[in-house]
Amino acid sequence: MRRLTVLAAVAAATIGSALILADPIFQGLAISLVFGLASSTALTLLAIPAIYAWLRDDGRPGENLGST
């Protein structure tokens, strides 16, 4: 559910900034906005959960992070 929310927000912002790609004055802003969104999405969905799982690993086999 969290992925869908993040991807929907990124898609909306990317589509909105894609409209100003044709404008020579705001083109640099649009490019940096699109790549900033892409990198922050990759961090949010891939890197941060991976780092969290790595730091929370205590070395005991057979236990998942989601188990209670």
Give the range of the structural domain holding residue 28, as residue numbers without chain letter. Answer: 2-56
**61 in a structural domain:** no
Residues of the chain with pLDDT under 50: none
Return the pLDDT at 53.
Answer: 86
Question: Is residue 41 domain-resident?
Answer: yes
Q: What is the pLDDT of residue 68?
A: 52
Q: What is the pLDDT of residue 18?
A: 86
**Confidence (pLDDT) at 29:** 92
Return the ∠ at Cα 37 (arms to 12 and 21), rounded to 5°: 70
Domain annotation covers residue 26: yes
pLDDT at 62: 58
What pLDDT score was predicted for residue 56? 85
Q: Per the domain annotation, does 66 fall within a domain?
A: no
CB 16 within 8 A of CB 29: no
Single-letter amino acid code for the residue at 61:
P
Domain count within the chain: 1
